[in-house]
Structure 1
Amino acid sequence: MGIIRLKNIRTFSYHGCLVEESKIGSDYRVDLEIHANLAHSASSDKLTDTVDYVHLNKIVVEEMAIRSELLEHVAQRINNRTLKELEMVTQVTVEVSKINPPIGGDVQEVTIILEAKR
């Protein structure tokens, strides 16, 4: 078993419950971790034998572009799509963070963490 992590994927998206958030948007950070059997690719040195992290990044960027009221919803979509499109993935954990959330306090970020298994 092996792990692939994509750290600090940055997007500008329009998630949130407030009307203002749908208009002005906000900065987000996404961290994605997948578990898969990487033994074959470690030996073969072939991209076709592993989980392509370009594909993983594409999933995150495309799902972050679809507006959601809740970070939980976009995180679940990322997990579901990862498991659907990448058969080698046995487990996926996504962290979606809203940078400087509008919650009336000095908060650097708020993060939702969701995990899914095959």
Structure 2
Amino acid sequence: MNTFVELRKIRFYAYHGVAEQERCVGNDYEIYVKVKYPFKDAMETDNLDATLNYAQLYEIICREMKIPSHLLEHVAGRIIRAIQTEFPLSEGGILSISKQKPPISGDIEGASVIVEW
């Protein structure tokens, strides 16, 4: 049985980007995360300690999004390492970070990095 905890459309205003102006002015971001986690015991016991606490998962993402980086890839790496550290039973997942209004000339909704681990 594969079991996952998923958080969708997490929105932040943060200060990431290669250009100094991006790190000063900031931008809107949207995060999606899906973590494979063996919570079969929680299904039987109704015990929070037997699953991945999604409030704690959200706090990990908040903490890492507050640290300015040049690259979204770097932010993604920090988030994944923190998830693996705080939830050592996690078995992989998918993380998407999207910059909603990237500084690109042209009609573009967003730019994303997606990591599957």
Asked whether 1:74 is paired with 2:75, we answer: yes
Query: How many angstroms apart in 1 are the aligned matches of 2:7 and 2:27?
Result: 20
Q: Which runs of 4+ in 1 moved over 3 A?
A: none
Query: How many angstroms apart in 1 are the aligned matches of 2:20 and 2:84?
Result: 32
Query: How many angstroms apart in 2 are the aligned matches of 1:57 and 1:72?
Result: 18
Do 1:50 and 1:88's aligned partners in 2 also have CA atoms closer than 8 Å? no
Counterpart of 2:91 in 1: which secondary structure? strand
Specify the alignment match of 2:29 in structure 1: 28
Structure 2 stretches of 5 or more lacking a match?
none
User: Deviation at 1:36?
Assistant: 1.1
Residue identity in the other structure for 1:97: S
Alpha-carbon RMSD across the aligned residues, in angstroms, is 0.8
Query: How many angstroms apart in 1 are the aligned matches of 2:50 and 2:4?
Result: 14
Query: How many angstroms apart in 2 are the aligned matches of 1:48 and 1:13?
Result: 31
User: Deviation at 1:115?
Assistant: 2.2
Residue identity in the other structure for 2:30: R
User: Deviation at 1:84?
Assistant: 0.9
Residue identity in the other structure for 1:45: D
Percentage of identical aligned residues: 33
Correspondence 1:1-118 to 2 at 5 A = 1-116=2-117
User: Deviation at 1:38?
Assistant: 1.5
Structure 1 stretches of 5 or more lacking a match?
none
User: Deviation at 1:61?
Assistant: 0.7
TM-score by length of structure 2 reads: 0.96
User: Deviation at 1:88?
Assistant: 2.0
Residue identity in the other structure for 2:4: I
